[in-house]
């Protein structure tokens, strides 16, 4: 069965690329465009991995990350934070709050896909 990837980002232009890449890689994909939607989608869709943007309306990526980590049903979900915030303290904050990887924008699409594959063991 195909692994599930949830994309949480409010910017349509990056969502288009991410969605395309994840589908090409053979994953089942769902998209959320703000923090609250992302949490709801996580509960119904039960993704194996979340590509999480930091700066989103409603709830930011840090808050979503924390909530996901507190939900026992989602204990195994992998979280990859994607952000234009590239300072060391911001990266450290994401990792502290429970992200499995922190990718700063801009990124190499090939590396991102490789990383997602690796984390999902496919």
Partner 1 sequence: MRGWRHAIVPALLVFVFAGVAALVTWSDLPPEERPAVAAAFSAQRVAVLLILALGFAAAVGFAAKRIADRTVLPARRIAEGMKLMLSSNPDFRVTPAGAPEIAEVATLANQLADANAALKSDVEAKIGAARADLEAEKNRLAALMSELASSVVVCNLEGAILLYNGSAKRLLGGPDGSLVGLGRSVFGVLDRNVILHAIDSIGRQLANAVPHPDAQFVAAGPEGGLMRVRVAPVLAHAEGVPPELTGYVLLVADVTDSVEAGQRRDALLQSLTESGRAALANIRASIENLVEYTDMKPERRAQFTAIIRDEALKLSERLDAVTREFSEVVKSEYSVEEMRGEDLVAVARARIESRVGIPTKLETIDPNVWLKVDSFSIAQGLSYLASRLKEDFEIREVRFRLGVSGRHAQLDLLWRGAPLSAETAFTWENDPFHLGGEPSPLTLKNVLERHGGEGWYQRDLPLQSAYYRLVLPLATAPARARFTAAVASRPEYYDFDLFRQLPQNRVLEERPLAELAFTVFDTETTGLDPSAGDEIISIGAVRIVNGRLLAGESFESLVDPKRELSAASIDVHGITPEMLAGQPGIGDVLPRFARFAEGTVLVAHNAAFDMRFLAMKEAATGVRFTQPVLDTLLLSAVANPNQETHSLEAIAERLGVAIVGRHTALGDALVTGDVFLRLVPLLAKQGIRTLGEARAASEKTFYARVTY
Q: Does 93 bind partner 1 (CB under 8 A)?
A: no
Cα 53 to Cα 23, 32, 40, 108: the distances in Å are 19, 10, 16, 16
39 vs 112, which CB is nearer to partner 1? 112
43 vs 105, which CB is nearer to partner 1? 105
With CA atoms as reference, report the closest residue to 74 among 108, 105, 106, 38: 38
Q: Does 110 bind partner 1 (CB under 8 A)?
A: yes
Q: Which of 92, 108, 114, 118 binds partner 1 (CB under 8 A)?
A: 108
DSSP classification of residue 55: S
Close Cβ partners of 42 (under 8 Å, ≥ 6 residues apart): 6, 50, 68, 71, 74, 77
60 vs 67, which CB is nearer to partner 1? 60
Q: How far is the CB of 83 from partner 1 (least distance, A)?
A: 8
Q: How far is CA 95 from the centre of its chain?
A: 13
77 vs 82, which CB is nearer to partner 1? 82
Q: Does 106 bind partner 1 (CB under 8 A)?
A: yes
């Amino acid at each position: 069965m195909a692994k599930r990837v949830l994309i949480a980002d409010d910017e349509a232009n990056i969502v288009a690329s991410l969605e395309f890449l994840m589908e090409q890689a053979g994953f089942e994909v769902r998209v959320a465009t703000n923090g609250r939607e992302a949490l709801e989608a996580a509960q119904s869709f039960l993704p194996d991995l979340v590509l999480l943007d930091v700066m989103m309306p409603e709830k930011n990526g840090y808050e979503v990350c924390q909530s996901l980590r507190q939900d026992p049903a989602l204990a195994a979900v992998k979280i990859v934070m994607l952000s234009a915030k590239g300072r060391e303290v911001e990266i450290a904050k994401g990792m502290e709050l429970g992200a499995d990887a922190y990718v700063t924008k801009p990124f190499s699409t090939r590396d991102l896909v490789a990383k997602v594959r690796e984390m999902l063991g496919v």
